[in-house]
Amino acid sequence: MEEEVAAVVIDVGSGTCKAGFAGDDAPRSVMPTVVGHPRHDSPLAGRNRKQVYVGEEAQAKRNSLSLQCPIEHGIVTDWDSMEKLWHHVFYNELQVAPEEHPILMTEAPLNPKENREKMTEILFETFNFPALYAGIQSVLALYASGRTSGFVLETGNDATHFVPIHEGFALPHAILQLDLAGRDLTEYMSSLLIERGHMLTGVPREIIQDIKEKLGYVAFDFNQEIDTAHPDQSYELPDGRIITVGNERFQVPEALFWPALLGIDSVGIHEYTHNAIHRTDLDIHGDMFRNILLSGGNTMFTGLADRLQWELETLNSDTKVKVVAPPERKYSAWIGGSIMASLPAFQNLWISHQEYEESGPAIIHRKCF
């Protein structure tokens, strides 16, 4: 009997693309979601030069390239770049022949219909995959934690989603989105460090992001934290300079609870969570509040789960609240896809190439919801 071919699992966010094979416990490849083309005046331009650079290579050569990020706020906005990124992932990162593997793609909650159809069309027509399934990132993240009902707060590079899920299905009428996420916090860190007197000209954004991720944490009580003296932490830049970071460490992630720090007129993530749950039927509120799951790279701050739980308990004094922060939450959506695509019971849920040919791209709405 021939060996089962593992499905390819791809989770593309606006910050990073996670790729690997169903049944694995982590993605094989994690790379920046960025595509670069040589500028006409750059030393990389010319007949015999590469026309496209993807991921880390594009970032490293940024000074000679025009860079595109194909995804904004979780939604694909540049299909040409997206196709080039997928091509690189399939042939270079995973080194697979697409026509030999089924593919599970993750997608953002509330992904527009036309985007779902365009994705379906490209994967079947351009790459010739034999079978496809699309799963909502937050639903897959919940599966990865062993649950089928609960609430997922998912925050990545440039969007934060609040997604109630009941018996395996996201509840679209209750989903909320906040366009404040990791990229905004990185920019805030940069502006605070410049205010402190640090010269950051020429320092790549990835370095500021690394400072934020390595040194940042969420204060349980912001005002008390400001009144408490903390020794500054130091960070060595690639050029050897040492910069010091103080209250910025907790002031930056505080913007998730208090967006006014960024000049954004909005309630914080605790009130968004509360509001999204209250859009669901009253009889499942308890289940939602007891199963709040954090997912995505922007949830990795120490202290975030405790602070969110405390804020929600304050808003809902008569309700039991439980916020869960799985250690692997940076890759929860990918892991959920890997688990799902390797389950025997899942195998009849794939959209086959034949079904696509018979029904066209709209088949995605009937089989993946």
> 169-170 and 160-166: which strand pairing?
antiparallel
**Closest Cα partner for 18 from 300, 325, 324, 336?**
336
Domains and CATH numbers, the chain: 8-33+71-137+332-367 (3.30.420.40), 37-68 (no CATH), 146-325 (3.30.420.40)
- Give the tokens for residue 267: 């309630």
**What span, in angstroms and rounded, lies between the C-alpha atoms of 329 and 366?**
29
Residue 202: per-residue pLDDT: 87
Residue 5: pLDDT band with limits 50, 70, 90:
confident
Rounded alpha-carbon distances, angstroms, from residue 246 to 107, 191, 224, 355: 37, 14, 15, 58
**Closest Cα partner for 15 from 300, 244, 236?**
300
Residue 230: per-residue pLDDT: 85
> 29-32 and 150-155: which strand pairing?
unpaired
Note the Cα 142 to chain centre separation in Å.
Answer: 14
- Give the tokens for residue 359: 């029904």
For residue 76, the 8-state DSSP code is E
> 160-166 and 176-178: which strand pairing?
antiparallel
Q: What is the pLDDT of residues 65-122, one digit of tens each?
A: 999 999 999 899 999 999 999 999 999 999 999 999 999 999 999 999 999 999 999 9
Angle at 188 between CA 185 and CA 191, to 5 degrees: 155
Q: What is the pLDDT of residues 201-255, one digit of tens each?
A: 889 999 999 999 999 999 999 999 999 978 899 999 999 999 999 999 999 999 9
Q: What is the pLDDT of residues 42-57, one digit of tens each?
A: 766 666 678 899 999 9
| Dihedral over Cα of 156, 159, 165, 168: its sign | negative
Residue 331: per-residue pLDDT: 98
Query: Measured between alpha carbons, how far apart are the two ends of the chain, in Å?
Result: 33
**What span, in angstroms and rounded, lies between the C-alpha atoms of 357 and 369?**
20
Confidence (pTM): 0.95
**Closest Cα partner for 5 from 345, 356, 333, 347?**
347
Q: What is the pLDDT of residues 271-298, one digit of tens each?
A: 999 999 999 999 999 999 999 999 999 9
Evaluate if residue 16 carries a pLDDT over 60: yes
For residue 286, the 8-state DSSP code is H
Q: What is the mean pLDDT of residues 302-310?
A: 98
Average pLDDT, the chain: 95
For residue 324, the 8-state DSSP code is E
Q: Is 248 within 8 Å of 196 (Cβ atoms)?
A: yes
Contacts of 79 (CB under 8 A, 6+ apart): 70, 118, 122
Backbone φ and ψ for 248, nearest 5 degrees, come out as -55, -30
Residue 2: per-residue pLDDT: 40
- Give the tokens for residue 169: 């299905």
- Give the tokens for residue 201: 């000209």
Q: What is the pLDDT of residues 123-166, one digit of tens each?
A: 999 999 999 999 999 999 999 999 999 999 999 999 999 999 99
Residue 1: per-residue pLDDT: 32
Residue 3: per-residue pLDDT: 53
**What span, in angstroms and rounded, lies between the C-alpha atoms of 263 and 126?**
43
